[in-house]
Amino acid sequence: MFKKILVANRGEIAVRIVRACSEMGIKSVAIYADADRHALHVKKADEAYNIGADPVAGYLNAHNIVNIAVAAGCDALHPGYGFLSENPELAEVCARRGIKFIGPEADVIRQMGDKIQARNAMINAGIPCVPGSDGNLESLEAAVVLAKKIGYPVMLKATNGGGGRGIRRCDSEKELLSNYDRVISEASKAFGKPEVFLEKCVVHPRHIEVQVLADAHGNVIHLFERDCSIQRRNQKLIEIAPSPQLTQAQRDYIGSLGVKAAKAVGYENAGTVEFLLDSDNNFYFMEMNTRLQVEHTVTETITGVDIVQQQIRVAAGLPLQYKQSEIAFRGFAMEYRINAEDPQKDFLPSFGKITRYYAPGGPGVRMDAAIYSGYVIPPYYDSMCAKLTVWALDWEGVIERGRRALNDMVVYGVKTTIPYYQQIMLHPDFRAANFNTSFVEQHPELTEYDVGLPKELMAAAIAAAIAAHEGI
């Protein structure tokens, strides 16, 4: 087993990995930019090293990060998610320097990171894919011809895209003509390659993904599925495990597809195979994420499997601790991405100092956070500052527990998505498990809530009123 692991990330996921290391008796090493000097992952790790003043570039410098790992005496590196987690260069640099990369091989990351290569691999494995281009689009003219053939709406996607970026829906030829150059530009800026492809748009699908684990000994299992249909502009907001919208037969089928996909590319470590489920109950492969997912918490909650620890074990050459027959789930889990955003202002980021923070607790409540009272949320990163995960035996129970936990959680100083999620929990369609990826856009009224007076100000006002009355 490894003795020391460098965590090449920040925020709540870095804290999560540090905790896994601690439970396994492994020393952890954090890295931080100047903006993260007072971050929680820096405080939690056994050691921490500064990576410079630039708030982003330091986390993207694979050579420098691996140099730190070598200098600190680390024998492995965990990339978390985001940043370099799906960049094959980091895995390659680790291999050259004798540091074990906790994730799949660089060739697999490269293959599955290229949407065309991934799509072709799945087609060859007999996994259903959405109709679309066989490769990168050579020109706008080729896109127009293909779109007419498969029918509108279509999706323009960056070949090396991810995280909901580099994607545009086109409902007509006019929109295709106006969006083509935009997606090319987004692909170039965000992913370094001006390559795009085209797929038939599955209208109002459900977004279902399968968590897989694979080791170097030929063992591949799935940990059931997650429903990620509650999303805004292709960015996930709420994740659920298992999906309340699937039958057992569908669950068994999509789980088998996830395992089949992992075996088809010789996958090792933790990965997620994402599918779209259309209104006719057809599953279509969308992409494979070759890393730990933000929403891994719901899968851990319903199965009891520590996915991060399994990642570390697999990277160390050990076999999976479980067989497929030993994996079962109990109840439902739901994760809320607590974003520092103002839903009433088109989800405008709301960075700044957290003046006071109260974490929820009680039965079936888990918090993954990197915030604390007095912490200043920097404006340089993703707006997600915490993840709230709740569990209950049934669907109605997990909704009610989520409502209670959201009400318990208080973040002062910045706007968050907490009140927005409270509105979703009250919506009859959500409560009836009747939703798809268009739920958020179809219900703009969910932002029309009254936040009222902050509780701390209300308490101060009441106290002042009482004091004034007693003075009389």
In a domain, 468, yes or no: no
| In a shared domain, residues 190 and 229 | no
| In a shared domain, residues 300 and 176 | no
d(CA 380, CA 55): 7
Helices (DSSP H) in 245-347: which residue ranges? 248-264, 296-303, 307-315
| In a shared domain, residues 273 and 350 | yes
The reported pTM is: 0.91
Q: State the DSSP code for 35.
A: G
In a domain, 345, yes or no: yes
In a domain, 254, yes or no: yes
- CATH number for the domain spanning 49: value is 3.40.50.20
Query: Residue 32 pairs with which residues in a beta bridge?
Result: 50
| In a shared domain, residues 233 and 195 | no
| In a shared domain, residues 232 and 367 | yes
What is the per-residue pLDDT for 451?
78
| In a shared domain, residues 245 and 295 | yes
| In a shared domain, residues 84 and 233 | no
What residues are labeled active site? Answer: 291
pLDDT tens, N- to C-terminus, the chain (472 residues): 999 999 999 999 999 999 999 999 999 999 999 999 999 999 999 999 999 999 999 999 999 999 999 999 999 999 999 999 999 999 999 999 999 999 999 999 999 998 889 999 999 999 999 999 988 899 999 999 999 999 999 999 988 776 667 889 999 999 999 999 999 998 888 788 888 999 999 999 999 999 999 999 999 999 999 999 999 998 999 999 999 999 999 999 999 999 999 999 999 999 999 999 999 999 999 999 999 999 999 999 999 999 999 999 999 999 999 999 999 999 999 999 999 999 999 999 999 999 999 999 999 999 999 999 999 999 999 999 999 999 999 999 999 999 999 999 999 999 999 999 999 999 999 999 999 999 999 999 999 999 765 555 555 555 666 666 666 5
Q: Phi and psi for 168 in degrees, rounded to 5?
A: -140, 130
Work out how many domains the chain is built from and give that number: 3
Determine the 3-state secondary structure of 227 from DSSP. strand
Q: Is 467 exposed, middle or buried (0-12, 13-18, 19+ CB in 10 A)?
A: exposed
Sole residue written with tokens 């293959």: 111
| In a shared domain, residues 270 and 313 | yes
What is the per-residue pLDDT for 208?
98
Query: How far is it between the farthest Cα atoms of the chain?
Result: 83
- CATH number for the domain spanning 296: value is 3.30.470.20
In a domain, 115, yes or no: no
| In a shared domain, residues 188 and 213 | no
Which of 157, 173, 200 is the last residue before a domain boundary?
A: 200
What is the per-residue pLDDT for 189?
83
What is the per-residue pLDDT for 460?
53
| In a shared domain, residues 294 and 372 | yes
Determine the 3-state secondary structure of 301 from DSSP. helix
- SS3 of 102-158: CCCCHHHHHHHHCHHHHHHHHHHCCCCECCECCCCCCCHHHHHHHHHHHCCCEEEEE
| In a shared domain, residues 306 and 229 | yes
What is the per-residue pLDDT for 163?
63
Q: How far is CA 345 from CA 102, 258, 410, 449, in A?
A: 39, 38, 20, 12
In a domain, 109, yes or no: no
| In a shared domain, residues 93 and 226 | no
- CATH number for the domain spanning 138: value is 3.30.1490.20
Which of 200, 227, 261 is the last residue before a domain boundary?
A: 200
In a domain, 469, yes or no: no
What is the per-residue pLDDT for 191?
82
Where would I find the beta strands (DSSP E) of 131-290? 154-158, 167-170, 196-200, 206-214, 220-232, 235-241, 269-277, 283-289
In a domain, 329, yes or no: yes
Strands 27-32 and 47-50: parallel
- Domain range spanning residue 23? 4-102
Sole residue written with tokens 């956070």: 369
In a domain, 465, yes or no: no
Q: State the DSSP code for 59.
A: G
Which of 83, 102, 121 is the last residue before a domain boundary?
A: 102
What is the per-residue pLDDT for 457?
55
